[in-house]
Structure formats: C-alpha cells, structure tokens
Amino acid sequence: MITTETPEHTALRQAVAALGNRHGRDHDREALWREAGKLGYLGVNLPEQYGGGGCGITELSIVLEELGAAGCPLLMLVVSPAICGTVIARFGTEEQKRRWLPGLADGTRTMAFGITEPDAGSNSHRITTTARRDGTDWLLTGRKVFISGVDIADATLVVGRTEDARTGRLKPCLFIVPRDAPGFERRRIDMELHAEEKQFELTLDDVRLPAGALVGDEDAGLLQLFAGLNPERVMTAAFGIGMGRYALARAVEYARERTVWKTPIGAHQAIAHPLAQAHIDLELARLMMREAARLYDAGDDAGAGEAANMAKYAAGEACVRAVDQAVHTLGGNGLTREFGLASLITAARVSRIAPVSREMILNYVSHQTLGLPKSY
C-alpha cells in the first residue's frame, strides 16, 4: 500500500479495518451501522459541537474504503453523513444543525438525498421538482428516481428549484422532507442488483413544508448543491476502491494457494501481471481520491470539483477491472456463492454509472480543465 498518511489516519484505517473484518462479507448491515456509530466512525467528518469527530471527508473516505475492503461497505455513508451532513453543517440553520447532526453523527438518524429525476439524468440544470411559496410555507412538487435508502431514512434532502424574483429563472434549493410528510410517496424500484440499500422512485405532490425546511440561503444555488456533490464523488471513489481491494485480495489469496501442475497459479505471469496492474490502478485512484478530499477539506471547492470527478472516474474504472480480473483468476469458483465475488460483477458497474456517468465526467474535464467547447 502506497501511503504518506499521518499516524492518526493510519490508526483510523487500522481500527476501521478491524471492525470490518469482525463483521465480514456476511455482515448484518444494521448491527454494523450501530457499532460504527457508537465508535464515532459515521460522523467523523461532522463538527465536534454537534457530536461529530471534527475531521473531514478525508477521514470519512478512509472509513468507507476500509469497510469496503473488508467486504462490508455501507452505502448510506455516502449519503447521510457525507452529502446531507456536510450540507447541513456548512449551510444549515442553527436549529437544523442541532436537530439533525448529532443523530447523523452517531447513526441513530439517517437522511437520504434526492436529486436524480426521470428526465434530467445527469443534468442537474434540468431538474423539474419545484418549490413555490404559500404564505410562510413551501409547496414542493416533482419526481425523483434511484434514491437510495428512503425506507430507512428519517428524512430526505430533496433538490428542488425556486423562482428567482429578480430574473424569473429557476435556481436550485435544498429542502429537508420528513419521511411521513403528507404527499410524499415512495415506490421501490425492482433492481437486478442485490444490495442492502434499496432504490426508490419518489413522488412529491404539493408537499407542504415549513420555512425552516429550506437549507441555507435561497439565493446560494449551486454553491450549496456542489457542497454535497463533491463529497459524494469522493465517497463514491472510496466505495469503488474498497470493493476493488476486497476482490483483489480474494484473487491474490486464491492465486497463492491454488496449485495446478505442482505450481501455484500466481507464479504464472498471465495471472500475476493482470493482478499487479489491478493493484496499480487502485493505488493511483486512491491517490487522486486523497487529493480530492484534501482540497475539499481545505475549502478549495473549485479544485476539489475537478479532483473529485477525476477520482470518481479513476476509481470506477479500477474497480470494474479489479473485480473482473478477480473473477477470472478464480475461474468457475469466481462465480460461486462460496467465494463471494460473482455479485460484485454487477455491483462494480455502479461505480461507473452513479452518481454521475463516466462520460459526463469526461465532459466535465474536457470543458472545465481543457477548455474545449461543449457539444450540448
């Protein structure tokens, strides 16, 4: 493992790895979540005055990566403390912070995040969920799809749009919607992918929310939105890197022990070299992820945006290749339930597709970094 980590980060990594290894691939998600919360890992990025660890996305990404490397990643780490917790900590009112952050930090409360829509895809500028004022209240109407963990979340942080009084244009805003709010309905999406956290379509039909449901400044717009999306990309990279490390470790262990014609198959370069390449790819993605987390924690939102997108892209590609090579190394055994790799074939694709496709990341880099013209 390539590392220039601080002793504190190394200690955190070792402690979380020990927790993950105790629970393992066949873990109970709720039990692992509770224990991680009690140990302070779920809210390591949240402010100390609200029950968190007072650290940053760097530390939270270590938690998710190591749990993933142990075979028990917690997807809601990406959503609840990383996106929702970060947005509320940075832009929420004092009442919102007191109400939500302690529970998000210790895991007794969770929050989902609703941005994706059926017709908007990766284009956040085409979001049609709208909020309009009704006296001091807000009325929120729209649809969302592929929203993770709504059934276990106490509330959903929903991205909607409000009308700018000066220009008449719609601008993004974020609202905390309680799970039992009248007019707020969910429908489970039947996914081929097996995961503990289920996916849902949401319908919001004139959901009435008090003024205090609006997070932050109504005029802040994209600044508040990307305060959550950059950590989301960093954490998605951690998710993919952890999964890739888990698959690679299983393949290396098998290649050392599996003997054909009196020689371990790992001695053959046709097996060894692809595994070595997978390790290199994962380490390079990890370095980019750490740089993105460092920039974000340092307050460089623009620099973090570029690095977080690159990290997410690199990690997704590395994860898919590592899982594919791991299954190939085990041959038929790689498709059995005993070795626990076959299900990762589908799961690994998520790191390429969500929360933003690799093609949209390439668009971002070509436009924002290279200064090339847009085709859309």
Q: Are 279 and 313 in contact (CB under 8 A)?
A: no
pLDDT at 373 over 90: yes
Taking alpha carbons only, the member of 150, 160, 146, 144 closest to residue 225 is 160
pLDDT at 3: 59
d(CA 254, CA 160) in angstroms, rounded, equals 49
pLDDT at 172: 83
User: When comparing pLDDT for 227 and 353, which is higher?
Assistant: 353
Which residues neighbour 337 within 8 Å (Cβ) at sequence distance 6 or greater? none
* pLDDT, tens digit, 9 for 90 and up, residues 254-291: 999 999 989 999 999 999 999 999 999 999 999 999 99
What is the average per-residue pLDDT within 85-111?
97
Q: Are 104 and 84 in contact (CB under 8 A)?
A: yes
**Confidence band, pLDDT 50/70/90 cuts, at residue 122:** low
* pLDDT, tens digit, 9 for 90 and up, residues 209-264: 999 999 987 766 667 887 889 999 999 999 999 999 999 999 999 999 999 989 99
d(CA 373, CA 376) in angstroms, rounded, equals 9
Question: For the chain, percent helix, then strand, then coil, each to nearest 5?
Answer: 55, 15, 30
What is the average per-residue pLDDT within 10-22?
97
pLDDT at 126 over 80: no
Domains of the chain: 7-109 (1.10.540.10), 112-215 (2.40.110.10), 222-369 (1.20.140.10)
Which residues neighbour 49 within 8 Å (Cβ) at sequence distance 6 or greater? none
User: When comparing pLDDT for 168 and 19, which is higher?
Assistant: 19
Strand-pair category, 155-163 with 170-178: antiparallel
CA 71 to chain centre: 16
pLDDT at 195: 78
DSSP-assigned beta bridge partners for residue 100: none
Query: Whose structure tokens read 């719609």?
Result: 170
Q: Are 69 and 86 in contact (CB under 8 A)?
A: no
DSSP-assigned beta bridge partners for residue 161: 130, 172
- Whole-structure pTM value: 0.94
pLDDT at 358: 94
pLDDT at 165 over 60: no
d(CA 190, CA 260) in angstroms, rounded, equals 42
pLDDT at 109 over 70: yes
Amino acid identity of residue 315, one-letter, is A
End-to-end CA distance of the chain: 41
Give the E-state strand segments of 9-164 in sequence order. Answer: 111-114, 130-134, 137-148, 155-163
Q: Are 85 and 101 in contact (CB under 8 A)?
A: yes
Kindly tell me the sign of the dihedral angle through the C-alpha atoms of 138, 144, 149, 152.
Answer: positive
pLDDT at 164: 62
Q: What angle do CA 233, 41, 145 make, to 5 degrees?
A: 40
